[in-house]
Amino acid sequence: MRTSIDIDDQLLLHAKHQAVQQGCTLKQILEDALRDFFSHQSSSHEPVRLETFSGPGLKPGVNLDNNRSLNDIMAGY
């Protein structure tokens, strides 16, 4: 996909230099950098564990995996 972005001049020069050093295109450098960034983002977060400290827990019919249902319950529908 073709797109336009504003990028810091020094950062762009560094990316172009890396492309020349590695014998590849600027596009490949930017795509690899984005893939690396996103692969680290998803692996660095551990799942959130919800605990009930008091009470019987969830009310019948509450499904924490269904955002629309939760919104309806909170809105009183």
- pLDDT attached to residue 18: 96
Structure tokens at 46: 């551990």
pTM of this prediction exceeds 0.85:
no
Render 6-71 in DSSP notation, one character per residue: ---HHHHHHHHHHHHHHTS-HHHHHHHHHHHHHHHHHHSPPPP-----SSS-SPTT--TT-HHHHH
Give per-residue pLDDT as tens, 10-69.
Answer: 999 999 999 999 999 999 999 999 999 988 776 556 778 877 677 777 778 788 888 988
Amino acid at 23: G
